[in-house]
Amino acid sequence: MLSHTHTYTHSLTTSSTVCSSTCTLGQECVANVCVGTGALSFVLLWSRPGDGDLVVTIPNGYTIMYSSKESSIQSNYGQLDADDTNGVGPENIFWNSTPDHGVYFVCFQQYRFSLDASPMNPIVATVEVKQMQQVIRTFNKTFTSPGSTENKCNNMLDTYLGSITY
């Protein structure tokens, strides 16, 4: 059973029907990139070119992000398979098998942009949470200042987008 503890109201559909390459079984096309799908996935897009990062802290306290993206026992076999460093996404974290039950915290880090987020140059981050390729939650936040670059995610950070209970 899935419940949420915080959501934003804006929704952005990330799936498209045309990809530059043919996606394989267990993948879908998001913003012209084939990304992994599975029991649970988090797909991030942002509003202007730069290096944005998807950061998900899972129930056991482990954080999946660009610096810890491989599937492992610590990540409960979740993995980051798309890491866009100069566009508008996607970044994607997914589990092929059923992940642990508990709270998943979702954050967006502004790693490197030519202009920092400001009221005149905001960055809008959108994450779709999917269960078996079906969108079940959408988190959306407009950033108007540079955020922290913690290598974790929780609801006290300025990078926080939302959380789900799986």
Residue 30 token pair: 């998001």
Per-residue model confidence as pLDDT tens digits over 65-117: 999 999 999 999 999 999 999 999 999 999 999 999 999 999 999 999 999 99
Name residue 131's beta-bridge partners. 134
Domain count, the chain: 1
Cα 41 to Cα 56: distance, rounded to the nearest angstrom: 10
Cα 88 to Cα 26: distance, rounded to the nearest angstrom: 23
Instruction: Flag whether the pTM goes above 0.85.
Output: yes
Residue 136 token pair: 């079940």
Confidence of residue 21 (pLDDT cuts 50, 70, 90): confident
Residue 103 is predicted with a pLDDT of 98
Which residues have a Cβ under 8 Å from the Cβ of 97 and sit 6 or more positions away?
38, 39, 77
Give mean pLDDT, residues 34-54.
97
Residue 16 is predicted with a pLDDT of 44
Q: Which domain holds residue 60?
A: 3-165
